[in-house]
Structure 1
């Protein structure tokens, strides 16, 4: 990874003087992603940051371009497009995730989670009793369900869970909606067929569709299947 226009501090500052050697390891860090005004739009935890090369930067006097190696479990392939939209303020219409491949949909949800605070900023949960409309036509797997419900609750690029446990957490409040509310799930029969994979749980097996509806209803959501 190339970090352009750096003014190194802390552990990174120590490491830039030892590029390629064992003392070039800066350790773990939080890697912040910025918009064009310098505001943080999201961040990743990265590990084993190691300086490989340091060169003067064309971005300004006294700045350097630092090449590092690192690992990051949460930076998923396909995230670049979604981050670019967040950075440019381009998440301005619904359905922008519809044509994404399966891997890109998972990355879309991950970016939605990490940019949630930036996108909503000082907004609070919608009042209880709201009606949200979930379009089931483009729900083809579990990740696309989270793309769809995030958009239904929080608008384009919105987040409202990325797995069953995270959905349950979001339904407790603080993520854009407060139960009780109504979720009108349009084209639900199509979604039911596509979410028909069985998931073992305790002494029974249920489909992904059944578990999603069960979690929603147990948290006080009135699910209307249409």
Structure 2
């Protein structure tokens, strides 16, 4: 169901974040950015989450028990979502979005945060981007890759896809030279199996779910051509690499190094 008052085309490229009352599907606000929601795991969560660059503010609803934070692309299509439950506006007055160019609107999320500090920047990048390109994840700083994987997984399921393989063809090519750690491995594997910004697991259990679901769907087992496997093994460690290879073999995937 589309939120009431949401843009279906155009006009959303600078407003990727919106707060929605799930029960009524009313848009409470649209904003350019959100501060204090995506945090470092070691960071003490702020008391308030602040929406900045608010250019739409609903009237008469400063509190809701069924809130959802949505991320939308420049066409107004939802690409990510977080169920928040209870939220409450913490403003002393209602900003006039006609008079204030970029008002800030604080909200109390009652301690709800996401421990992926770069996710907000990545969502903004995705929301305003043009055509999706291969290898985007490898061109961001290494410290962003955990957040990138989180955004990939969240977007994948928000947009109605499942933990399975969608791309056809019997061969998947994985570039091991780009793999610098486990997050990078899952980013690379998701792209190899399901295309740019594709998901194919974010840990071993999730990888098994993807392999098992594909098998249940009747998808033929694929051959994984793992290029530069020695380089990625050095980055991932022999134990983890062995677990991955064992899981792939258990699920009927033939692995060939190249």
TM (norm. structure 1) is: 0.74
Deviation sequence 1:62-82 (CA, Å, 0-9, x none)? xx9742032444461111332
Aligned in 2, Cα 1:74/1:65: closer, same or farther, shift over 3 Å?
closer
- The residue number in structure 1 matching 2:78 is 40
Q: Contact 2:156–2:198 (CA<8 Å) still a contact in 1?
A: yes
Deviation string 1:33-66 (CA, Å, 9 cap, x unpaired) is: 1122222111012255232115244269xxx974
Between the aligned partners of 1:97 and 1:212, the Cα distance in structure 2 is 21
2:68 aligned residue (8, 27, 30): 30
1:171 partnered with 2:211: yes
CA distance in 1, matches of 2:218, 2:107: 40
| CA shift in 2, pair 1:166/1:74, >3 Å | farther
Instruction: Say if 1:107 and 1:178 are closer, same or farther in 2 by CA, change over 3 A.
Output: farther
RMSD of the TM alignment (CA)?
Answer: 3.3
Structure 1 match to 2:119: 79
- Unaligned segments of structure 1, at least 5 residues: 17-23, 198-206
TM-superposed CA distance for 1:105, in Å, is 0.2
Q: 1:2 maps to what in 2? A: 51
Aligned to 2:233: 192
CA contact (8 A) 2:88 2:108 kept: yes
Alignment correspondent of 2:187: 147
Conservation of the 8 A alpha-carbon contact between 1:91 and 1:157: no
Query: Runs of at least 4 residues of structure 1 off by over 6 A?
Result: 118-121
Question: Within 1, Cα distance between the matches of 2:152 and 2:144?
Answer: 12
Structure 2 unpaired stretches of 5+: 1-49
TM-score, normalization: structure 2? Answer: 0.66
DSSP-derived class of the 2:140 partner: coil
State the Cα deviation string for residues 96-152 of structure 1 (Å, max 9, x = none): 22243343101101111111257787xx8234x520100000111111001100111
Residue aligning to 1:20: none
Distance 1:159 1:140, change over 3 A: same
